[in-house]
């Protein structure tokens, strides 16, 4: 199958650079609908679904390939090479921020001129002085719950992950997105996501990077954003006054403003 079919790639807009929008765990490209159209008016934009998510081709899912984030990163490299024009900017939400970084670092690849990381975390588990937000027992319990009752976990956790208490429809949308994902694929992706540790990779990413951090985030707390800002060589940290892990949905205006300022500052 071709790349477009495998990842359900959608291209819009024209402009001096190409922005690639990558969704987080349990989501799909539709989660960018409040943010991407404004950029398509000025840039070439590329939306896609990670294999196993959304309307990607499930025939492409290989448990061995996607047993690590690098499997997804290799797909991202192929998408960027096939669809990029001009400077390429990778916009990744949550785990996709790390996937984009791994794609960039693959064999010292410099395909991306800049990165935008929305709610990123290089490691979810507390380790010594590092605070990721969860104890290992918390993550193991979460994964056990996913294994035993994925649909129940989805309906309970999605509203808490989304935040945005004044817009409950967004939490319901996220829950529905979780529930549409094949449970076996979702369980493996969750394990790969929450057990990953990419802290050692951060100093190697020398491209300009914008970190968009919510002031209250259950999944990636403020201390994680601060850690990444200290560790990434060329980072800018913008804290959005917002509750939840999906500011591109619950606070799209603030996210758009932050990305606009970042792109302008770096001449993109």
Q: Look at residue 110 in the predicted model and tell me its pLDDT.
A: 79
188: Cβ contacts below 8 Å, ≥ 6 apart: 63, 66, 67
92, containing H or E segment: strand 88-93
What residues make up the domain containing 107?
A: 3-124+197-265
Q: Is 245 a catalytic residue?
A: yes
Q: Look at residue 76 in the predicted model and tell me its pLDDT.
A: 97
* Beta-sheet pairing, 18-22 with 88-93: parallel
Q: How many domains does the chain have?
A: 1
Asked whether residue 202 is assigned to any structural domain, the reply reads yes
Residue among 104, 245, 248, 250 flagged as catalytic: 245
Q: Look at residue 142 in the predicted model and tell me its pLDDT.
A: 86
Q: Are 120 and 193 in contact (CB under 8 A)?
A: no
pTM of the model: 0.95
The domain that holds 233 is classified in CATH as 3.40.50.1820
Asked whether residue 98 is assigned to any structural domain, the reply reads yes
Residue among 23, 28, 217, 250 flagged as catalytic: 217
Q: Is 94 a catalytic residue?
A: yes
Q: Is 217 a catalytic residue?
A: yes
Asked whether residue 225 is assigned to any structural domain, the reply reads yes
Q: What are phi and psi of 177, to 5 degrees?
A: -65, -45
Residue among 94, 154, 177, 196 flagged as catalytic: 94
Asked whether residue 131 is assigned to any structural domain, the reply reads no
Task: Report residues of the chain scoring pLDDT below 50.
Answer: none
């Amino acid at each position: 199958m071709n790349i477009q079919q495998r990842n359900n790639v959608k291209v819009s807009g024209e402009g001096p650079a190409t922005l690639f929008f990558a969704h987080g765990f349990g989501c799909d490209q539709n989660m960018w609908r409040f943010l991407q159209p404004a950029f398509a008016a000025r840039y070439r934009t590329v939306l896609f679904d990670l294999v196993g998510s959304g309307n990607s081709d499930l025939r492409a899912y290989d448990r061995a390939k996607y047993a690590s984030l690098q499997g997804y990163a290799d797909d991202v490299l192929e998408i960027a090479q096939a669809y990029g024009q001009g400077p390429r900017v990778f916009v990744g939400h949550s785990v996709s921020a790390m996937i984009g970084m791994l794609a960039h670092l693959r064999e010292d690849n410099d395909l991306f001129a800049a990165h935008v990381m929305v709610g990123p975390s290089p490691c979810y588990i507390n380790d010594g002085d590092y605070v990721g937000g969860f104890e290992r027992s918390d993550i193991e319990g979460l994964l056990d719950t996913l294994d035993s009752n994925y649909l129940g976990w989805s309906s309970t956790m999605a509203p808490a992950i989304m935040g945005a208490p004044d817009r409950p429809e967004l939490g319901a949308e996220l829950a529905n997105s979780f529930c549409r994902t094949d449970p076996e694929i979702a369980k493996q992706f969750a394990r790969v996501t929450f057990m990953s540790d990419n802290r050692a990779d951060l100093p190697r990413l020398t491209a300009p990077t914008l970190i968009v951090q919510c002031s209250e985030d259950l999944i990636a707390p403020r201390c994680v954003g601060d850690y990444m800002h200290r560790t990434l060589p060329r980072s800018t940290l913008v804290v959005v006054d917002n509750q939840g892990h999906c500011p591109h949905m619950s606070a799209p205006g603030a996210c758009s403003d932050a990305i606009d300022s970042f792109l302008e500052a770096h001449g993109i």
